[in-house]
Amino acid sequence: MAVDYKNSLARYRKYLQVAGKRPLFRATLFVILSLLLLIILVFFALRPTFTTIGGLVGDIRTKKEILARLDSKISNMQKLVTAYQNVQNETYLLDEALPIGSQFSVVGNYLQSIGAENINLSNINLSSQTLPTEGLSEIEFALTTSGSSSQIHDLLLKIENSRRLMSITDVRISKNSSGILNANIKGTAYFVFENYEP
């Protein structure tokens, strides 16, 4: 069954000619076409505006999230400042335990002072390993002393309990012919390199 396009088109043309002669149909057709054209023009005219508005709304949402994170960081910083102010009077202990710079003389004077109290301290050697370019460094020390076991024990405790961060790496004790104990003590004192910035 073949469709006869010519007949269909001719009937439609006839219908439009008959309908076109009616004034109501003509007026309705122009109004409908005008509205259709207006809708198309408004769509193409407002589409960039809506795209821009959508982008701006997304930017505002992103900036609000960033602002919330920044507010959280500011709040954390304020808490940190408050906590630091609470312990600020005690930070000198950190400077004593782990000073900035080697301060060889301070280490030597401390070891000499604790050794001079009640024990015979015959030799103090201080040496530094190759200095690193940053961070934690150390001073090695060696003491030679003689005395009773309680005096050597007290000296070791004073080194161990020092405010300065020190560790004892080696202790060698021997007894001489007169019954006095000789002790060779090796250890390490730590410090922060002078130009270190975390």
Sign of CA dihedral 19, 25, 27, 28: negative
Instruction: Dump pLDDT digits (tens) for 9-36.
Output: 788 777 777 766 666 666 677 778 888 8
User: Is the pLDDT score of 155 beyond 70?
Assistant: yes
Indicate yes or no: pTM above 0.85.
no
Instruction: Dump pLDDT digits (tens) for 58-116.
Output: 999 999 999 999 999 999 999 999 998 888 787 777 777 777 766 767 777 777 777 66
Q: Cβ distance 161 to 155 under 8 Å? A: no
**C-alpha 84, offset from chain centre:** 18
Domain boundaries, the chain: 6-68, 96-192
Identify the CATH assignment for 96-192 out of 2.60.40.10, 3.30.70.60, 1.10.10.10, 3.30.559.10. Answer: 3.30.70.60
